[in-house]
Amino acid sequence: MTTFRVVHTSDLHLGSLFSATPEVAAQRKQEQIDTLKQILDRCTEINADALLIAGDLFDGIKVERHLLDDVKEMMSHYRLYIFITPGRHDPAAPDSCYREEWPQNVHIFRGGMEKFEIPEKNTCVWGAGFTKPYCGETLLTHFTPVASRINVLMMYGELTDTPRSDSHCNPIYREALESCGADYVALGHSHRAQLFEDHDFLYGYCGSPSPRGFDEPGEKGVLSGYVAKGFARMEFTPLDVRQYYTEKIDVSGCETTREFTGRIVTVLRDRHGESFSHHLYDITIGGSLENGIIPALPEILARLRESVFYVRLTDRTSTSLDLDLLMNDGSLRGAFVRKLVGKMQTDSRNRELYMRALLYGLRAFDGEIEIDENY
């Protein structure tokens, strides 16, 4: 039985700015290239015949020269077919890098439905690419599978449950796709891996192989397996990439920076194992603290970043204060407290905000917070 072994990926978004985490943006951009190498190495591991990149290889039409050269050079060293369907973010526009010369083993579907034949594998790879950022009409038209061959179809698009859709991202009517006659359909666009099976017909999204922000949680990887005439077998293969986690951690009872840091590190290790330090975290700390204690976030962050790749912190802790005693203070400090307490009484909806302002103000009076006059 002839089989066509493939690795299916999409949505790498090479060249992303990582503006949400600027402190580590340069490293994360390099790690995207490392992810592409991991994917190509996976192709070698399973002796794949082809790598299918179903859209958004790059994050934009304009690609930095050094990045493009690195990608081309890397791909040229692997002995397999590499197929690319340009997507919404990297369409094959007239000034696109996809209009340039690429290595001989790379084939780019630069427009409407096109067929690439591989006689020695009795296979046809079909693809259709975006030529501009928006595609309101389906690209599934003009797909006519060759009855005697394995037919692999790849494209970037959005699955719809109705034949008419207002999608501007190549609307693909699910029923039409399931009856199109392909043996496997490799889709791009969704950053979450999803495989769909209709009897022996398999199609799906591989998801983004490397996350770019806290809105892309969960394990990331590729789909890999084989396609034969009449059926396909694909499985999700995780990649060794950094993951983004949003965490809520109770720090009740902590008093010192060392205690806050220790509590956070312990929770992260318990939740994510010994590899916890490899990832990126958006952490909200909460809980009840002793009278007047506020976590010193800059100091806690500095300590955490000695052992964790990236952390950002939000403080939602609460602490008790003897407001009557503080308001009876005859100094400017007491006047400040009375002003804030008055605000709490007249604007109860923002009580938590005023309380936090009060806490930081009291720390400033005590000389515990440095004021940057140039801020």
The residue extents of the domains of the chain are 4-238, 244-365
C-alpha to C-alpha distance for 113 and 159, rounded to whole angstroms: 17
C-alpha to C-alpha distance for 164 and 129, rounded to whole angstroms: 20
Q: Is the per-residue pLDDT at 320 higher than 90?
A: no
pLDDT at position 348 is 84
CB-hemisphere CA count at 13 Å for 91? 14
- Taking only the tens place, the pLDDT of each residue in 89-107 is 999 999 999 999 999 999 9
Q: Which residue has the higher pLDDT, 64 or 165?
A: 64
- Taking only the tens place, the pLDDT of each residue in 132-144 is 999 999 999 899 9
pLDDT at position 374 is 39
CA-CA distances (angstroms) from residue 129 to 11, 57, 81, 106, 140? 14, 12, 17, 15, 11
- Taking only the tens place, the pLDDT of each residue in 180-221 is 999 999 999 999 999 999 888 999 999 999 999 999 998 999
Neighbours of 142 (CB within 10 A): 11
Cβ-based neighbours of 248, under 8 Å, separated by 6 or more = 283, 284, 285, 286
- Predicted TM-score (pTM) of this structure: 0.87
Neighbours of 65 (CB within 10 A): 8
Q: What is the mean pLDDT of residues 25-43?
A: 97
- Taking only the tens place, the pLDDT of each residue in 296-317 is 899 999 999 999 999 999 998 8
Tokens 């991202």 map to which residue?
169
Per DSSP bridges, beta strands 4-9 and 221-228 are: antiparallel
Residues 320, 355 contacting (CB under 8 angstroms): no
CA dihedral of 54, 57, 58, 64, whole degrees rounded to 10 = -140
Query: What's phi and psi for 194, nearest 5 deg?
Result: -150, 125
C-alpha to C-alpha distance for 183 and 233, rounded to whole angstroms: 10
C-alpha to C-alpha distance for 72 and 66, rounded to whole angstroms: 10
CATH class of 4-238: alpha beta
pLDDT at position 367 is 67
Q: Is the per-residue pLDDT at 366 higher than 70?
A: no
pLDDT at position 368 is 56
Question: Using CA of residue 358, residue 364, residue 370, residue 375, what is the dihedral sign?
Answer: positive
The amino acid occupying position 127 is: G
